Amino acid sequence: MDTESQRVTSPPGSVVRRLAVPGGVLAAVAGAFVYVAAVDPNEPGHYPACPLFQYTGVYCPGCGGLRSAYAFAHGDLAVAFQANAVAVVAYFVFAVLWTLWVVRSVRGRPLHVDLRTVHLWGIGALLFVFTVVRNLPFGGWLHP
């Protein structure tokens, strides 16, 4: 028996249905980037201030994230990286994971990201080190 005749193809509607959620996530993220690109976070009064920085003067790991997204959306990777290096890395990680999600969805296979406890602790440790270093005198180059 011919293997080509045994191959079952999925109906076109099912592929569109499987891509609905990744497409919706991409639309939401793109919409957020479009908004941040249009409303400059470098101008005061457009976004709320970071409460941790406002009350303590300590930069959190998210401080500068909006400015980073603004610069990234405008194609200025150097400024985006200087505003928040972790955010820029997260943009690229999101792009890779989203692409894998779409490819696996088209093939009809779910995406499984198996983060174990050690991975979560590692991410937390990296964010902690980033936060501590950016708040020390020699880490001034990491200030947003």
Residue 33, exposed/middle/buried by CB under 10 A (0-12, 13-18, 19+)? Answer: middle
- Alpha-carbon span 130 to 136, nearest angstrom: 10
Q: Confidence class of residue 28 from pLDDT cuts 50, 70 and 90?
A: very high
Packed helices 20-38 and 85-106: angle between N→C axes, nearest 10 degrees: 150
Q: What is the mean pLDDT of residues 23-35?
A: 94
Give tens-digit pLDDT for 1-10. 455 544 545 5
- Alpha-carbon span 142 to 130, nearest angstrom: 9
**pLDDT at position 5, please?**
47
Structure tokens at 30: 């793109």
**pLDDT at position 89, please?**
95
Distance linking the first and last C-alpha atoms of the chain = 65
Give tens-digit pLDDT for 86-139. 999 999 999 999 999 999 988 888 888 888 999 999 999 999 999 999 999 888
**pLDDT at position 10, please?**
56
**pLDDT at position 13, please?**
62
pTM of the model: 0.80
**pLDDT above 80 for 18:** yes
Q: Between 143 and 56, where is the model more confident?
A: 56
Nearest to 130 by CA among 78, 73, 64, 74: 64
**pLDDT at position 87, please?**
95
Cα atoms found within 13 Å of the Cα of residue 40, Cβ hemisphere only: 4
Q: Between 142 and 91, where is the model more confident?
A: 91
What 71-77 contacts at long range (C-beta under 8 Å, 24+ apart), as own/partner pairs, is: 72/33, 73/33, 73/34, 73/36, 73/37, 74/37
Give tens-digit pLDDT for 51-78. 999 999 899 999 999 999 999 999 999 9
111 CB-near residues (< 8 Å, 6+ apart): 97, 100, 101, 104, 105
Give the total residue count for the chain.
144
